[in-house]
Amino acid sequence: MNREQCCKKIYTGSWSQTSRSCSRAGTVERDGKFYCKQHDPVRIKEKQEKDRLEREQVWEERRRIKKLEKAAPELLEALKAAERELEDWMSVAKGDDEEKTRMTLVTIKKAIKKAEGE
Ligand SMILES: [Zn+2]
């Protein structure tokens, strides 16, 4: 085998010749062996690690959404209770307090509408 050739064996699946060497030039040396870009063990490991992290992120996001979904009915009830409290408070709130309460109520009402798909 040419020293400059990629050392990776490729399985052919044929009976007569079960494997052959990768025909590409070895562009990187690892532990005295040459590998082409595709078969570079370091690059392969990095790619696997990157894929693993991406899968992990997808799962983390799914877990987060699932938790939120589970809590949604309670959150909505809590928000509606807060809405009622603030509406009562609005009748006695004055000046800055009234304005702040009004702004909070707008946000709460928007969120409730969104949650109920109206
Ligand atoms: Zn190769």
58-111 per-position pLDDT tens digit: 999 999 999 999 999 999 999 999 999 999 999 898 898 899 999 999 999 999
pLDDT above 80: residue 3:
no
Ligand 1 centroid to Cα of residue 24, in Å, is 5
SS3 43: helix
Distance 16 CA to ligand 1 centre (A): 21
What is the distance of C-alpha 105 from the center of its chain? 33
Q: Identify the pLDDT of residue 17.
A: 80
pLDDT of 2 strictly over 70 = no
Q: Could you tell me the pTM of the whole model?
A: 0.61
Listed residue (21, 23, 41) closest to 31, CA to CA = 41
Residues within 5 A (CB) of ion ligand 1? 6, 8, 22, 24, 36, 39
How much of the chain exceeds pLDDT 70, in percent?
Answer: 97
